[in-house]
Structure 1
Amino acid sequence: MTLLEHLEELRLRIIYVTIVLGILALITFHFSLRILQFILKPLIKVLPPTSHVIFTGITEAFWVRMEVSLYAAVLFGLPYIFYHIWMFVHPGLTKKEKKIVLPFIFFATVFFLIGCVFAYKVILPIGLKFLVNYGGKEMSAMPSIKQYVSFFLRICFAFGLIFEMPVVSYILAKADVINAKWLIKKWDYAILGAFIVAAVLAPPDVLSQFLMAIPMILLYVVSIGVVYIAQKPKKEDED
């Protein structure tokens, strides 16, 4: 396959994914109010009785529901998205590697959802409690719905992508881009990188940053094992 053919295939797959996400977004928009209520739960729990979530622009609430619908469509469309990602790299794989498309879709989807759930259940309650109470008694929290939803989605999708580390490591190992020995040698850089990413993406309190960095380090350890297993059969075949 030439470069132009590869780019044409990429364009078509992006179109397919966009069409499906558009259809899903129309469906999820019908349930966008319920989804928004689910998103607001972690914030409502930490807000004092005198505080409320507000919107300041006439169209702000509408566009927030549109944004929520789109991200919900992406979440429900993950298996389809991962399928097209796999099929795009399909020509560069061996016959044996092409057969693992279903496990790839399954594990990529599951790991992403686990990351989102971890952010929702662990990181957001701690981070939001710190941020809301940071103003003290002198200031009342009146968070904007637009700012909160953007913050919520950024945290959840960041954790979803972080939890894809073992899956991405497996693909890179199969492509001979990385190996277990190389990952072990870069252990110190991985720890440093985890805390840098946590400092950028997590809420500003130290506990939330640690809760983000520690899973990243553990996932790095898991990735080492995944890479070792992914490349071990190849070495045995060569022997």
Structure 2
Amino acid sequence: MSAVQETFISHLVELRDRLLRAMLAVLVVFLCLMPWAGDVYDLLALPMMQTLPEGTHMIATGVITPFFVPVKVTMMAAFVIALPVVLYQAWAFVAPGLYAHERRLGLPLVLGSTILFVLGMAFCYFFVFGTVFKFIAEFAPKSITPAPDIEQYLSFVMTMFIAFGLTFEVPVAVILLAKTGVVSVAKLAAARPYVIVGAFVVAAVITPPDVVSQLLLAIPMCLLYEVGVIIARILVKDRPDGGEEALERIESN
């Protein structure tokens, strides 16, 4: 067996070990949370329950839905709690193959992305859900009694969590583009009008068809883009030819 094959197999073995450790961490947290799966779902459903009429409950239309939906929610919570371990395993796998300057950029990038994604989910849970559900409850006709299905509620919540989590990653993307020289800070600032239009288009596609949720996604996206441009201007010396410089570096390597 050649040295190249041995190296490739050793990388595959290490990747398998890292994946198993990450999955084991999620599994351990999941098993610890499983006895309280119902409470975990109740916590997720709290923003909705606070806006429903007194005495109204959510419903489950499927036979096994009351069991599987809390299990899915608990698995999601276990993944979020075990995320530091998962990210560490991913970092430990790729770090040996990076240069020193790439490691200096990569670790803050991973940590910053994780923190911002969790902050996006927290913003969605503590502020957006309450505002949107309250708006919908006030807008709904008095002749109906809302009774949301728990499976549809979970699907809605997951979509919103992912949307706001990715929205809070905008500063990281902007800083990365500027730091790598792909786009200059001046061009990022000049693209502001297009970003604003794109933010509202994305919000209209992803969020429910109500003005409140669309504004609550589009406005933070625009503000976070501005934050990314400001930080990029501080960290990176503005180079109008950033894209050409990056291309030259690639060709020279």
Q: What is the identity, as a one-letter code, of the residue corresponding to 1:202?
A: T
What CA distance in whole angstroms lies between the structure 2 residues aligned with 1:232 and 1:5? 39
CA contact (8 A) 1:82 1:108 kept: no
Deviation of 1:200 after TM superposition, in Å, equals 2.1
Query: Separation in 2 of the partners of 1:192 and 1:44?
Result: 34
Distance 1:156 1:192 in 2: 22
The Cα of 1:150 is off from its aligned counterpart by: 1.9
CA–CA separation in structure 2 for the residues paired with 1:9 and 1:178: 38
**Residue in 2 aligned with 1:52?**
57
Is structure 2 residue 161 aligned with structure 1 residue 156? Answer: yes
Q: Distance in 2 between matches of 1:199 and 1:28?
A: 36
After the TM superposition, which segments of 4 or more aligned residues of structure 1 sit over 6 Å from their partners? none
Partner of 2:127: 122
Distance 1:165 1:83 in 2: 22
Greater mean alpha carbon deviation, residues 14-23 or residues 67-76? 14-23
Counterpart of 1:221 in structure 2 is 226
Counterpart for residue 247 of structure 2: none
* Number of equivalences: 232
Partner of 1:196: 201
CA shift in 2, pair 1:200/1:18, >3 Å: farther
The alignment status of 1:146 with 2:142, answered yes or no, reads no
Identity of aligned residues (%): 34
Structure 1 residues 173 and 25, CA gap change in structure 2 (3 angstroms): farther
Alignment gaps of 5+ in structure 2: 240-253
TM-score, with structure 1 as normaliser: 0.82
Q: Structure 2 counterpart of 1:194, which letter?
A: A
Q: Does the alignment pair 1:20 with 2:25?
A: yes
| Distance across 2 between alignment mates of 1:195 and 1:233 | 28
Whether contact under 8 Å (2:52, 2:137) holds in the other structure is yes
Deviation at 1:58, TM superposition (A): 2.0
The 2-side partners of 1:135 and 1:88 are apart by 52
Structure 1: which 5+ runs fail to align?
Answer: 235-239
2:141 corresponds in structure 1 to 136
Residue 29 of structure 1 is matched in structure 2 by: 34
Q: Which moved more, 1:199-208 or 1:185-194?
A: 199-208
Q: 1:232: which partner in 2?
A: 237
